[in-house]
Amino acid sequence: MNTAVVKGPPATGYSLAFASPLAAFFVLFFLAPLLLLIVISFYATPDLKSFGLDQYIKIATDGFTLPVLADTLWLGVQTTLLCLVLGYALAWSYVRSPRTMQKVLMLIIVMPLLTSVVVRTFAWVVILGRQGIVNSMLMEMGWISGPLKLLYTRGGLIVALANVQLPLMALPLITALQKLDPNLEDASSALGASALRTFVRITLPLTLPGILAGCLLTFAASITAFISQSLIGGGQMLFMPMYIYQQASSLQNWPFAAAISLVFLIAVMACVALFNALGRLSRGHIAD
């Protein structure tokens, strides 16, 4: 019996009117604020009475803003590298575990995403404090005679950020490792390659898309983590999100805050473009 198959219009055949609500939302809540930010950044003075390039000249010549920007990007690199090491080990353990254990590991990985960033950050304040879990354990074991300064340090901030952003690294890596054909590793071992050589020459290149996706997500989330940077870093370190907040909220210098926001945005977009370029190169490398 022949059955008539009713085909709908192709995806590109629908009217653009269906996209108008999304377009209006995009224009109202993203494009319009961005254009307003650009206009404000070209005001020469905080009272918004004259135009000029004064704010951008100040950024380039004050000797303070660009080092803060570089330090913020370097913080993102450090956090991303730590997340990559921990996330790869976690993803590897997940893929090699039995199905029952995988459910437990997935719950552990996803659970932090269901918890507020503020709660997780305050937990690290308790853990790294002078009377926190780490110092108490080290003193009970006799390894230290007095509490170490772990809170309000760069090392403590990187560890806390890595914990907060770790799911963003682990999930793409799990997807990449699950797509890896186990016969490739078996064939490499059968040909006499060591486990390390198999990992470096087979596993690592074939999981590069997952690595780059995880690095991109972790880097972008780390450098913009205002809450974690403020609570764990305290007043000891200054990064771009707090710098922008101080200029806009405390000093009411809206033109300068808008200018450094745009410079920060351009720097982040440049990093994203770099990750995308590396992703294209990795696809070509895998294809070869």
Q: What is the pLDDT of residue 13?
A: 62
- State the DSSP string of the chain: ----------GGGS-GGGGHHHHHHHIIIIIHHHHHHHHHHTBSSTT---B-SHHHHHHHHSSSHHHHHHHHHHHHHHHHHHHHHHHHHHHHHHHHS-HHHHHHHHHHHHGGGGS-HHHHHHHHHHHHSTTSHHHHHHHHTTS-SS----TTSHHHHHHHHHHHHHHHHHHHHHHHHHTS-HHHHHHHHHTT--HHHHIIIIIHHHTHHHHHHHHHHHHHHHHT-HHHHHHHHTTT---HHHHHHIIIIIS--HHHHHHHHHHHHHHHHHHHHHHHHHHHHHHHHHH-
Q: What is the pLDDT of residue 173?
A: 94
Q: What is the pLDDT of residue 1?
A: 46
Q: What is the pLDDT of residue 8?
A: 60
Q: What is the pLDDT of residue 86?
A: 94
Q: What is the pLDDT of residue 5?
A: 54
Q: What is the pLDDT of residue 48?
A: 84
Q: What is the pLDDT of residue 41?
A: 93
pLDDT per residue rounded down to tens, the chain (288 residues): 455 555 665 666 667 777 888 889 989 998 999 999 999 999 998 888 888 899 999 999 988 999 999 999 999 999 999 999 999 999 999 999 998 999 999 998 888 888 888 888 888 888 888 888 888 888 888 888 888 888 888 998 999 999 888 999 999 999 999 988 888 878 888 888 888 888 888 888 888 889 999 999 999 999 998 888 888 887 778 999 999 999 998 899 999 999 999 999 999 999 888 888 887 776 665 555
Q: What is the pTM of this model?
A: 0.85
Q: What is the pLDDT of residue 283?
A: 67
